[in-house]
Structure 1
């Protein structure tokens, strides 16, 4: 299962990269970037809570799902942040 993580991360980033034009056609770039960054923050906060509270669920699968969700949001935020940065004039 652990060897599938890089493949799943890459697949989720590719999928979210393909969905980015559909999402950015409905919402502004700064809104998409803010929501994706806030979503990543909430997911990381959820991981901290999972580790601080002793749960009886299988943590490895839960961590994998959260990491894949973070990769989906990161794949969405990467092209949006590249589109919002402007090159510096020389």
Structure 2
């Protein structure tokens, strides 16, 4: 399912226009992004949680040359599915 199909599905199930559903989805994305930038954890009971994790600096290897390179530390987004979502998928 792509973004357009998701918006259509939201519009249909929530009895909204596609434009309203698109704005709602964009607002959700912006709220989650802003919270994660601030280091907050977002928990939606039954669905899952969004949080960030810090990956330490490490040494890697360039596959073309075999030369060692330094991979910098990074903050990465993570999603963990909630029990209700896991159970409905299985």
TM-score, normalized by length of structure 2?
Answer: 0.37
Indicate the structure (1 or 2) with the bigger Cα radius of gyration. Answer: 2
TM-score, normalized by length of structure 1?
Answer: 0.37
Structure showing greater relative contact order (alpha-carbon pairs closer than 8 Å, 6 or more residues apart)? 1
